[in-house]
Chains A and B, each alone.
Chain A
């Protein structure tokens, strides 16, 4: 009896079994399909009216979308090869992205400039479910770092193409963009300058401080504790705390205000982001240097390398992947954190988020939030790949 059972079960194709994560993805996708696909509003601040998958599109595309979703659902649920899951995931996402634009055009009455169509909860859940499928497949396929960056670039190009083609022009978020395009790009520049600038300065300052802490043991605990305390100050409080001293600097130190230092604005935002970045960079530098094989350091010393030669030739290169991990942490953190800079007039994508909250216009909030999330995600993927490339071969001793 039991033998017969085993035989029949091995006769079954390998894909005809439930994938563990696939079950979760399928449940989320099913919920997404049941919830409203799009929201229609007569103007940008009234409450939305939900439109289901069946109502959001003309009948033929609606049927096609449901068919594609069903295929994706089955591929996710069963144990298909990972590459098949990846391709299916990307295809479903592509179809979802194209069709949400189509849905917006379809739902917007001809010539009505006040009406707004935005993606509904169902759309977001579907995107989430199939993104999960894609990221899980990507993790399991263990692509080389450069391939992962390549995939990210391809996705970026695809999204850019969608934006450029005008397929999304009837979506509410792009209508918000259309009315404030110059402001959007100006804030984007500020946001990037704040996030990348603060990380760059923190790296330039933090790595030498980390080296110093590694060399001078008594300094280590003191510096790391101070930075730890800085890290625990709530960001809004830190922005507030910086207003008075920076205003004083601007008023009393000649030339300070000329280079843009003032109590509010970009200067305190930059200082706060810099302060938050220091701990991860300094502590990762220390940890990285401490993890360098003592035998390698002893050998370097015993062969007559000077202190500087050891640091530059052996210790820093071996600690580099860990230092880079610290930079990755703060870059992703600061891209998100820079949105709060808008509160004290520092600019950045946060401007749209706070304006949107003020006007109860969620589309405007999305105009600030979506680029921030996309930017942070892209930074994480690129830096993870760089960390992996840097640690190739090197870490084991």
Chain B
């Protein structure tokens, strides 16, 4: 658990982060959203002491981080940034091995861990271990960057706009990878982005920041349904609200009994995808398929109800 307690950061009189209090639950993904200059990155960088707060405290699992030497704290926290920040003169394997090496692991253990992580990120170790970063595609570099951040199995992973430089297709893939790996490892992820879509897709909780202040911190459904301020509403996009709400739930959770014909939709798809398909094909209901079997239907009427503002 990360407890941010009344944190303020000011640079020569200019307040960048203004009395922010925020608790991040263990094994969850917290996405900090805001426009540029909102203080979101500064807030995140205070968690691993890349920025020293002007006042306030941050506790990790109850321990105040001000008492921990910065380099020691940082080796316990994964750190992945936009543009990946790989060391261009070191091979992929050496990059991933950075923190384990700083922690003084033995060679055998480091080599095994590097191969394990590359495999986890679908990079064949034999093929990629000894390449230099510039020989990789943007998506591959980004994956190596995250693999490097996770090398020493940190409890916490900080990510600063990690997908900012990727094209939409690769970004979607990278987001799925992150969700899968987070679920598998149970890492607490703090991710900074300006993209509300990404925040809703990835976040267990979303913290919205503007001009240094924390405007709202809640689950995505709550943020969409009840934005705390007009700014939060604007960030979500008024006309997008019903669709964002639908995107949070899966078809599997809203199957009705019934038998309709036509092209089926997978149970794992989001309600938003189902809604789009219903509108596009002009049908009132779609059969739902799971593992190749039709297991029910999803209806336009039900989705319209679900898309309405929760009471």
Interface residues of A (CB under 8 A from B): 293, 295-296, 298-306, 309, 314, 317-318, 393-397
Contact = CB atoms under 8 A, between A and B. Distances in A.
B310 interface: no
B305 interface: no
A318 B71 CA distance: 22
B243 interface: no
A306 B73 CA distance: 12
Given A302-B48, A304-B99, A317 B89 contact: yes
A349 to B, nearest CB: 39
B71 A306 contact: yes
B299 interface: no
A379 to B, nearest CB: 25
A179 B50 CA distance: 70
B300 to A, nearest CB: 47
Interface in B57-77: 70-76
Interface stretch (B14-22, B78-86, B185-193): B78-86
B132 A393 contact: yes
Nearest to B48: A302
B88 A296 contact: yes
6 contacts: A293-B88, A298-B81, A299-B87, A303-B75, A304-B72, A304-B99
A313 to B, nearest CB: 8
A293 B85 contact: yes
Contact of B71 (A305, A314, A317, A394): A305
B81 to A, nearest CB: 6
Contacts of A318: 87-89
B156 to A, nearest CB: 12
Contacts of B149: 303
Interface residues of B, number: 30
A192 B83 CA distance: 46
A93 to B, nearest CB: 39
B88 A299 contact: no
Contacts of B132: 393-394
A391 to B, nearest CB: 10
B25 interface: no
Given A295-B84, A396-B134, A303 B89 contact: no
Contacts of B155: none
Given A299-B81, A301-B50, A302-B48, A397 B74 contact: no
A396 B48 CA distance: 28
B98 interface: yes
A20 to B, nearest CB: 34
Given A309-B102, A393-B134, A396-B134, A302 B79 contact: yes
A396 B76 CA distance: 29
